[in-house]
Amino acid sequence: MLTVLEAAKSSGVSVKILNRWIKEGKLAAQKMGDVHLIDRIDLNAVLTKESIQPVGVPGENRGDAPEPRLSDVLRRGGIHYG
């Protein structure tokens, strides 16, 4: 799961556009407190539909750390930016 800011950074799409897509129902997101969380697969589906190059999908070796499981994030007390 990605925050809107993380999704924007990884996709090259602005936070404003991602928030608009969420509001319009074009992009599925779960709200946890004040933060919207986006599944990378849902993001890729919208990016493909909008003719934007999708970001890596889970299971691909993208050379970065694996995404935390939502249950682990919740257990730690939420999302922290830093």
17 near 23, Cβ under 8 Å?
A: no
**pLDDT over 80 at 68, yes or no:** no
At residue 60, the pLDDT reads: 47
At residue 79, the pLDDT reads: 54
**pTM, two decimal places:** 0.63
pLDDT tens for 18-56 read 999 999 999 999 998 889 999 999 998 888 888 776 665
**pLDDT over 50 at 61, yes or no:** no
At residue 66, the pLDDT reads: 60
Other CB atoms within a 10 A radius of the CB of residue 5 amount to 14
What whole-number distance in Å separates Cα of residue 36 and Cα of residue 75? Answer: 17
5 near 15, Cβ under 8 Å?
A: yes
